[in-house]
Structures are given as structure tokens and as C-alpha cells.
Structure 1
Amino acid sequence: MTGPAEPLRPSWETPHRARRLLLASTLDHILPSISRVAGAMGLTIGTAPGLLDVVDHQGGRRIDRLLERLARELTTAETECVRITADPPGDGVALATRLLTAPTLAVELARRGITVEMGLLTGAELWPVYQPIMSLQSGGIVGHEALLRGRVDGREVGGGDLFFLAERAGWLRRLDRLAREAAIRHAAPWLGGADLYVNSDPAAVHRPSVCLASTERAVHEAGIAPQQLVFEVVASHAVTDREHLMSVLDHHRSLGWRVALDDVGVGWSSLALVTVARPDVVKLSKTLVARLEEPGPQAVARALCELTHLHGGRVVAEGVESERLADLARQVGADLGQGWLFGRPVRPEALAEPELVLA
């Protein structure tokens, strides 16, 4: 057994109370609307084409109230179309730099805890958990998928909620990196020769050689062989920018890591994506696996398995919660299974070195 895993307590750059806001937008109606609200609250207003300067000479409390009102009165789409800089510097070069990296009003509101409960993220303890991936032929463990969990005020929070909040607050890249590297570091003492499946969002990797450098170091320091790493990309994320996806996957492969398409579901677009990406692993979605008794989903799943095998890859059936689903997954050609039938996600200290079946 390994010792208890030390939870992550990352620090986040949450904004301080602001006394001045500089807002910019290309939409004609938004800044005048904000200006009217701010003026009615007694704030000092300055305007220029496409810009709004709001100053609170009384310490910033009215700025807080302004942001609260904007969160209620503007639509989400409108807040995405406004850039905002709090307490902008007076120096021209510094101001220009700040404006180039200014977040949207939606991100600013999220970071200030106005539109969502950011305490779920900023106050969370984070740690990885691991779910076994089994051979559908022999029944032995061949790998583990790392998932992120958190705790706030004694309540456990799932990774989906954490990543949703991080994306709203513009912190997706940081949380994605923390989760990747924690998964690798905490698996090192017990993983043995099993594969480690690690989730990663291509949107969090701007330039692979730079953004993945610390992950590469984490793999080296953990002593995990590169070929044991399988980085998962959710299929729906992959569709948005195919060219960027391929650059990320190519970089993974250049380091000896394997790649997986996760949550591959019903639809011939899935077949096209597998054809283009040629992943080492295809993970059939829980929704698709749950419908394997239906002719249509069964035909799609069988086609995905055949295509993946043609490229030399392997197929994991996700959401396997019964022997019946395991049998159906085997019948359509899946090699591996993952789900509550085989085990729920557990913290690393609950894992002994698994008995491996090299299937």
C-alpha cells in the first residue's frame, strides 16, 4: 500500500477590489448600457469610441455593485463580447500589454464569484482518483484512468464541475496541467507495468512543445515509461479545431506517449474522426455502450472497433456496469472494459500494485 496522497491546494489569481474599470467592446449597444447603469450609481464615466472608463472615487464598493448588476442584467453572450481591465496602469506600454491580455467580462465576473460559486474551485482541495481498465478477454487489469476530484467544506466535487468552473474563469489551462501532473505523480509508486490514462483538453495546450514541457518532466521524474502513458482527448473537443488537435496528438506521439479518443459515440462523424486521428485507443462512450442491444448503435460500435483494429489500435468500452454489457462489448469487438462492474474510482492510497495481464 502507498501512503496517503497529499491533496493539491493550488493558488488562483483572484481579482482584488477595483477602483477603476476600463471596458472595450465592438458591439454598439453594450457600453452605452453599462454607462447608464454606472452613471446612475454615481460613478465617474469617461468614453471614447469602443471604450468606457469607469472610476469609483469612494474605494471600490460601487464597482462591486456595478459588476453584480451587470451579472444580472447582461446576457452571457453580451458578457463574452466585452473585454475588461481592472485598475489599468498609467504607462502606455504597460496599458497596451494589459489590454492585449484582458479577460472578457464573463471571465471577470466568474473570477469575482458573482455568476458562479467560484469557492468550489478557489477553496478546493484537489486530488486524483483512479479507475481500473480491464481486459474483456482475461479479466485482468491492464490500466487505470486518472480522474480529478475536489473537496470544499467537506463535500466532494466531481472533475466535471471543477473543469466547468475553471473554463468559466479562464483557468482551464492551469487546472488541466495540475490534473495531468498530479495524476502522473501519484500513480508512480504503485502503477507497475500498467498503462496510465490521463485526460487532457487540447484547448488547454496552446503550443504543445511549451505547454507540455512540465508534463514531460513529470513523466521523467516519476519513472513511468513513456509508452505506458495514454493521453485522452474527448471526441467532442476534437471536432472544434481538427488541425490543432492533430498538432497536439503528433507531439504526444513524438514523446513516445499514446493517444486516445474518449467518449466516442453514435454517428458517422465518429468514424471520420477515428480515420483522421488514427488514435492508439478508442473509448466507446457510456451512452453508446448502454445502447448496444439496439441494431443501430451496435453497428456503429462494431464499425468503430473494426476501423480501430485496422489501424492497430485498441477499443475500450466505457460504462460497463453489468456482465450483459461486458458480453455485448466483447461481441462488437471491444478489447477492454471500464465501469462499475470492474471497479469504481479510488484514491491512490487504496491501490496496491495490480496483477497485470498483458493483453
Structure 2
Amino acid sequence: MPGKATRALLATSVGHVLPTVSRTAMGLGLAVSTWSQLVDVTDPRGGAGLDRLFQRLARELTAAELDAVRVVTDPPVDGAALTARLLTAPSLAVELARRGVTAEVGVLVEAEFWSAYQPIVSLADRSVVAHEALLRGVVDGREIGADDLFFVAESAGWLPRLDRIGRESAISGAAPWIGDDDLFINFDPTSIYRPQVCLASTEQVAHASGLAPEQFVFEVVESHVIADRGHLVSVLEHYRSLGWRVALDDVGAGYSSLSLLAAIRPEVVKLDKGLVQGLPDDGARTVLKAVTDLAHQLGAVVVAEGVETEQLAEEVTALGADLGQGWLFGRPVRPAQPVERPESGFQPVAVSRSR
């Protein structure tokens, strides 16, 4: 690993990248000078600030943007020598690898990502009305589940990038076959710093898919709700400004469920799988009934997760759940071709698309 540098020149012809580099560097207290297609960053504290800058840029820039930026650390003063260094400078992606920023996530670099989809059905007639996308990775022929992927990504500071990959894989993978069904997409609010910027490529993929905005339901797990609810609300408001809807997942698992429902007012509420599978226990039934009733009062649709038996399906239906998800109705699969749609006279009014 190279020693500590105190100055770096970052050059690119991609116009929107340099302002991001400049803002990030200044936010870290580094000295910044800019010219056309070039940012000069100096660390007055001896190099630790540059390390933090590179780590932050690894999270904020896409892979294509990292490849488009050339970086020279501790550049020579002589003009000719500087020109020569710039012409042969490595990309920012290579510099990050040299510094070990990507060393922990080789599995992510090598992985082929794709989405599996699990059906969500109307409990009234068992017709499929939606699908939840679940990210998968394949490395050397071995499938890696979402939990392992996101654990590695979070440990290595790649969570924003993998979260974006998950959102966009979900949309592009479903577009050819999903028809008019809704698409549930997971996201982690801590991966989104500025919604207008961080979600820009997701918006492009959603628009290119040809799917209607109201088909998208972005779900956040209750345990992932960050302490700064103001930031979370701003992210959700951005989703809604695009015509997308919001779901709160695993509701009932934490003590703050009811206050979260009132604060976020999601269009869809997904009941915690553990509580659902605790039925017919009286405690689980009491909690799930309270959450279901409040969700309905707030105008939300209720999805019961983890439904694996007919008895559980009957229990959650009796509690007032509108939709069901679980192995009883179908496991997550990777569609190889357009899905044959079941014949049904069901009108999908249960998945409310307006408040």
C-alpha cells in the first residue's frame, strides 16, 4: 500500500463528476482548487484526509465514474513531468484498489448480480398481484444470497453501490415479464445521501423499463430506519414525487412500530415474518391485529409475510391482512421467460395506489 500523500490531482472530462469531488473534499476540510477538468486537493493534516476522501468517493461515485477519473498523488512541480504523470495516471478505481479500499469486496467486484422474485397474492382469491425482488450474486458458479452480499458491502463501505445495483437489477429484471403487477424493491435509507443525485440512475432505469410509476413499491425494513427520521422522510417524499409508493417492512418486530407507521404513513405495511409464524399465539395475534388495524386506519394495504401453511393463511386473513407472501404461494425464482399469468376476475383494488 502506498505511503501517505498530502496532495492529489483528479482529472476527468466527465463534467458532473468534478463538482462532486470538490464538494466531498471541502466537506472533509481539505484545501481545494479547481480548473477546467481538474481538481487540486491538498491535505494540510498529513494525508489522513486524502484517505478519507478516496474512501468517500468510492461510495459516492459509480464504477463508470471511478474509471473516468485519473488521479496523481503528490504531483511533481515541473510542468513537463506533471504532464507526463497525468498522461499515464491510473484511474481512481485503480488508485482505490492500490489503497486497499476494494480489498474487502473482491466477491462483489467479481459477482454477477441478478434478482429473484417472490409472488405476493391477494388473500381473497390467491391471485398474484405483485412480486418482491431479492438480490442474488453468482461467483465461480456459486450463488450468494442477499444477506451475505449486504454484510460484505456494509463492512467494506460499498453499501450505497450494492443498494443501487439491487434497485436497478430489480427493475430491469422484471420489466420483460411483470405486466401490470406491482414490483416491491428493497432499499436501505443509509445508502442514499442526496435523493436527487443518488436515485438519478434508478429513475433512468425505471423510466426505460416502460413500467408505470405506480407499479413501484420501495420498501424499507423497520430495523434499517435510521435515527434521522427527517432524512428518511425526505427520501420517501422524493419517491412519492416520482409516483412511486412506500412500504414499511417487518412491522411489529420493534417497539417503535406504531409510532413509525404514524410518522411515515406508508402505502403498504408488511407484517413481521416472525410474528406471523408465531400464530396462533395470543401475544402474536394481539400485536398483529393492532398493527393491521392502525395500518388500515392510515389507508395502507397490509401484507402478511412468512405464510407457509394454509392455517397461517387463514389466521392472517381473519386478522384483516389484504395480501400474503410466503412459500405457500411461491418461493423466490429467477424468471427464465415471461411468467404465465393466472386466469382470474380479480380487480387489484387491494393494492391501493392512491391515498
TM norm structure 1: 0.70
Q: Which ranges of structure 2 fall in alignment gaps of 5 or more residues?
A: 7-27, 29-38, 60-98, 351-355
Match of 2:329 in 1: 342
Q: Which residue of 2 aligns with 1:19?
A: 2
- Indicate the SS of the match to 1:184: helix
Output one character per residue of 1:145-190: Cα deviation in whole Å (capped at 9) or x when no partner. Answer: 0000111222211011101111111111111111111111111111
- CA separation in 1, counterparts of 2:213 and 2:121? 20
Mapped contact 1:191–1:354 kept (Cα < 8 A): no
Partners of 2:157 and 2:341 lie apart in 1 by 38
User: Partners of 1:92 and 1:144 in 2: how far apart?
Assistant: 48
Shift of 1:92: 7.5
Deviation per residue, 1:300-345 (Å, 9 max, x gap): 1111111111111101111111111111111111111111110011
Corresponding position of 2:125: 138
Q: Does 1:317 align with 2:304?
A: yes
Choose 288-297 or 252-261, whichever is displaced more. 288-297
Quote the residue 2:9 is aligned against.
Answer: none
1:292 maps to 2:279: yes
Distance 1:110 1:285, change over 3 A: farther
- Residues 265, 287 of structure 1: 8 Å contact kept: no
Partner of 1:112: 103
Match of 1:287, as an amino acid?
Answer: G
The Cα shift of 1:293 comes to 1.2
Contact 1:319 1:339 in 2 (8 A): yes
Distance 1:196 1:92, change over 3 A: closer
1:174 aligns with 2:146: no
What is the RMSD computed on CA atoms of the aligned residues? 2.3
**Contact 1:232/1:260 (CA < 8 Å) preserved in 2?**
yes
Verify: 1:93 aligned to 2:41, yes or no: yes
Distance 1:143 1:92 in 2: 50
> How far has the Cα of 1:222 moved from its partner?
0.5
Distance between the aligned counterparts of 2:4 and 2:172, measured in 1?
41
Cα distance in 2 for partners of 1:215, 1:92 equals: 31
Q: Mark the runs of 5 or more structure 1 residues left unpaired by the alignment.
A: 1-17, 24-82, 84-90
Please show how residues 155-174 of structure 1 align to structure 2 within 5 Å.
155-174=142-161
Task: Name the CA distance, whole Å, in 2 between partners of 1:334 and 1:219.
Answer: 29
Task: Classify the secondary structure of the residue corresponding to 2:256.
Answer: helix
- Residue correspondence of structure 1 range 203-218 to structure 2 within 5 A: 203-218=190-205
How far, CA to CA, are the matches of 1:95 and 1:110 in structure 2?
Answer: 19
CA contact (8 A) 1:293 1:328 kept: yes
Residue identity in the other structure for 2:50:
R
TM-score by length of 2: 0.71
Aligned-pair CA distance for 1:109: 6.5
| Pairing 1:307–2:294 present | yes
Select the structure with the greater relative contact order (CA < 8 A; seq sep ≥ 6). 1
| TM-superposed deviation, 1:21 | 4.2
Query: Given residue 307 of structure 1, which amino acid in structure 2 is its aligned partner?
Result: L
Contact 1:266 1:297 in 2 (8 A): no
8 Å contact from structure 1 (residues 266, 300) kept in 2: no
More moved, 264-273 vs 247-256: 264-273
Q: Distance in 2 between matches of 1:319 and 1:288?
A: 9
The answer as to 2:317 corresponding to 1:326 is: no
Query: Is contact 1:267-1:300 (8 Å) kept?
Result: no
Shift of 1:112: 2.1
Contact 1:128/1:147 (<8 A) preserved: yes
Q: What SS does the aligned partner of 1:348 have?
A: coil
What amino acid maps onto 2:3 in structure 1?
A: R
* Number of residue pairs the alignment of both structures matches: 270
What pairs up with 1:1-359 in 2 under 5 angstroms? 18-21=1-4, 93-95=41-43, 98-103=50-55, 111-113=102-104, 118-355=105-342, 357=346, 358=348, 359=350
Whether the 8 Å CA contact 1:230–1:257 is kept in 2: the answer is yes
Q: Percent identity?
A: 54
Q: Distance in 1 between matches of 2:203 and 2:256?
A: 32
1:111-167 deviation per Cα after TM superposition (whole angstroms, max 9, x unaligned): 324xxxx34322211111100000111100000000001112222110111011111
Quick one: structure 1 residues 268 and 100, their matched pair in 2 at CA, closer, same or farther if it must change by over 3 Å? closer
Question: Structure 1 residues 319, 292: CA separation in 2 closer, same or farther (over 3 Å shift)?
Answer: same
Q: Could you tell me how far 1:95 is from its partner in structure 2?
A: 4.0
Aligned equivalents of 1:231, 1:271: Cα separation in 2: 19
Q: Distance in 2 between matches of 1:341 and 1:250?
A: 34
Shift of 1:348: 2.5
